[in-house]
Amino acid sequence: MAILGIDLGTTNSLIGAVDSGFPILLANAEGHRSIPSAIHFPESGDPIVGAAALRQRALSPERVVTSVKRLMGKRLSEVEQEHYPYPLVADDEGFVRIALGDGGSLSPEEVSALILKELKATAEAAMGTPMDQAVITVPAYFNDAQRQATKRAGALAGLTVDRIVNEPTAAALAFGLHKSKDHARIAVYDLGGGTFDISILEIREGVFQVLSTNGDTYLGGDDIDHAIAEHLWTTYQPNQSSLAEQDATLQIKFREEAEAAKKALSEATEHLVRMPFIKKDKHFEHALTRETVDRLARPIVDRTKALCLRALHDAKLDLDQLDEVLLVGGSTRMPLVRQFVTDLFQQEANTSQHPDETVAMGAVIQGGILSGSLRNLVLLDVTPLSLGIESFGGLMNVIIPRNTTIPAKAGEMFTNAMPDQSSMLVRVLQGEREMARDNWELGQVEVPFEAGPKGSARIGVQFQIDENGILEVLTRDTKTNKDTVLEIKHAAVDVDDKRVEAMISESVDHAFDDMSERVFTEAKLKSEELLPAVDQALALIGDQLDYGERHAILDATAAVKQAVASNDANQLKQANTTLDDATQQLAALLMQKALADANAGT
């Protein structure tokens, strides 16, 4: 059974399948292989998807939903509502819903499902057979909630989603299939309409591995359109307030003109913008040059530079170690972007693929591999951020480090910090900071176990990330073999994509302070173990010590208490060591007593 490959894009969406052994993209009845990711909800009748929906945007912007991908798995509080001409509301848990004119509302995945249904119908018409299995691509930075939401959208459209694939990985797959080299390292620079992704990949004997990823889910051709539209507006009405403050219909008109001009200027060096009847008898004509558009777009394109360099750094590669730089996404058709990438990576960017079809083609190829209709290539991805749990003292205990190849499985054993404790709270965290409170909580679960003395419980915590990047946490009381499974559901995730990028730079900015807090916390945990143990031992056999030894221990104990209060990590570490040294004789006596007691059978 053939498996469909789908690029469910922010701006445009595409579908394809392997037909007679060849991966192809499928055109709709109008002959278009790419449809705008736009849905029009008319006052009466069924929703309309694609180009026809987009045409309604100028007339009734509040009824045309675009860029719904940006809302997937998001809370209303995380969304900048002014970017959306249609009304948004929150569900009971605070997640975004799109309000419809009739008082009802739809979730972003329900809206995405309408696009997927349209694509599915296109594919079924083209292939002449029902099709219900698919591979869908998502941006590399989609978190668990967003991947889950994408899968749900597929299910709502009647599709079984066999695999979620990162967009740059899919693009590289399409690219790699045509390469014969045994070993290559490539950068995939993907600038689309709404998002930017950079990935560094390694291909070795048919195996793809993502070495690192970075990106910004709020950076793309739309931003360039905004900048050009503002420029056109101020040229037309120099004395008025900005375009963003005008009515929605006017904004859309100017943005559509801006996008058309931008596209034209990827070929020509000058383009005549003609806007008749902007308002009744008002017309506007303006000759826009590529130079002007480049000047407006440059600061937006420049923002990709730091992200690219960080991805290279994470992949531990220098610029000259890259064999190829692949351009993906419609915005890389701009000569400015091509030149920028060539300058940045110090090599000619590879433009051999259609930049706006590569991702979909990769999804089709992946579908072909899964269904067995194409030669087997293995696909590996990496975790964008570290995953772990909170351990004693509020520390982040990393279980799966950032940039680990997935699917991945790792575990650790934990115990109880308090006597007679009968459960443990496992907080699942994502992030790069040393202290749990600075990372993001993905979910939590209370794990029950048999109460006993301190350190007697044996709780195994295992993280498993499947090939779609979806995390499952299994905890096991090894005494009873009782398992608790926590699946990271969207309600448990409260993550803004933009903060993924911020998280990495914050962890660098705070590296020094974070590390000294970790050292102090670890030293304090040790003190908290040492102090009561020393007190107990002194009470038991302290009288067997001589005066000097006893005082050395009491002095060292006081120094530890003082160092705990001082918040100074080095002082506390030193005080712990001194107390350890001072209690050598006490420990030896304790051991002798234990042996004597054992021999006496007490």
Contact residues: ligand AMP, CB under 6 A: 9-12, 192-193, 220-222, 259, 262-263, 266, 329-331, 333-334, 356
- Comparing CB distances to ligand AMP, the nearer of 152 and 338 is 338
- Comparing CB distances to ligand AMP, the nearer of 263 and 510 is 263
Given 167, 216, 257, 441, the catalytic residue: 167
- Element housing 537 (H / E): helix 511-541
Distance, CA of 198 to CA of 211 (rounded, Å): 11
**Per-residue tokens: 204:** 């070795």
Distance, CA of 567 to CA of 575 (rounded, Å): 12
Residue 371 C-beta: closest distance to ligand AMP, Å: 26
| Known catalytic membership, residue 205 | no
Residue 171 C-beta: closest distance to ligand AMP, Å: 10
> What's the distance, CA 134 to chain centroid?
21
Residue 259 C-beta: closest distance to ligand AMP, Å: 5
For residue 546, give every residue at least 6 positions away whose Cβ sits within 8 Å of its Cβ, in sequence order, or none: none
Rg over CA atoms, the chain: 30
**DSSP-assigned letter for residue 82:** G
Given 69, 74, 151, 253, the catalytic residue: 69
| Known catalytic membership, residue 450 | no
- Comparing CB distances to ligand AMP, the nearer of 329 and 384 is 329
Helices (H), 265-353: 290-314, 335-345
- Comparing CB distances to ligand AMP, the nearer of 215 and 388 is 215
- Comparing CB distances to ligand AMP, the nearer of 50 and 329 is 329
For residue 127, give every residue at least 6 positions away whose Cβ sits within 8 Å of its Cβ, in sequence order, or none: 2, 17, 19, 26
Residue 167 C-beta: closest distance to ligand AMP, Å: 9
**Per-residue tokens: 175:** 């690219």
Pair 35, 219: CB distance under 8 Å: no
- Comparing CB distances to ligand AMP, the nearer of 147 and 255 is 255
| Known catalytic membership, residue 167 | yes
Instruction: Return the C-alpha torsion angle 32, 142, 162, 365, nearest 10.
Output: 50
Distance, CA of 333 to CA of 192 (rounded, Å): 10
Residue 337 C-beta: closest distance to ligand AMP, Å: 8
Q: Give the count of alpha carbons within 13 A of 513, CB side only.
A: 8
Given 7, 257, 259, 438, the catalytic residue: 7
Residue 37 C-beta: closest distance to ligand AMP, Å: 9
Residue 388 C-beta: closest distance to ligand AMP, Å: 34
- Comparing CB distances to ligand AMP, the nearer of 85 and 431 is 85
Burial class (CB within 10 angstroms; exposed 0-12, middle 13-18, buried 19+) of 128: exposed
Tell me whether strands 459-465 and 408-414 are parallel, antiparallel or unpaired.
antiparallel
The CA-based diameter of the chain, rounded to the nearest angstrom, is: 109
Residue 264 C-beta: closest distance to ligand AMP, Å: 8
Residue 311 C-beta: closest distance to ligand AMP, Å: 19
Burial letters for 70-102: b for 16+ Cβ neighbours within 10 Å, e otherwise?
bbbbbbeebbeeeebbbebeeeeeebbbbebee
Pair 146, 138: CB distance under 8 Å: yes
> Whose CA is closest to 185, among 310, 301, 311?
311
- Comparing CB distances to ligand AMP, the nearer of 168 and 443 is 168
Distance, CA of 519 to CA of 527 (rounded, Å): 12
Given 190, 230, 434, 517, the catalytic residue: 190
Token pair 């590569």: residue = 358
| Known catalytic membership, residue 7 | yes
- Element housing 362 (H / E): helix 358-371
- Comparing CB distances to ligand AMP, the nearer of 215 and 221 is 221
For residue 562, give every residue at least 6 positions away whose Cβ sits within 8 Å of its Cβ, in sequence order, or none: 575
Tell me the catalytic residues.
7, 69, 167, 190
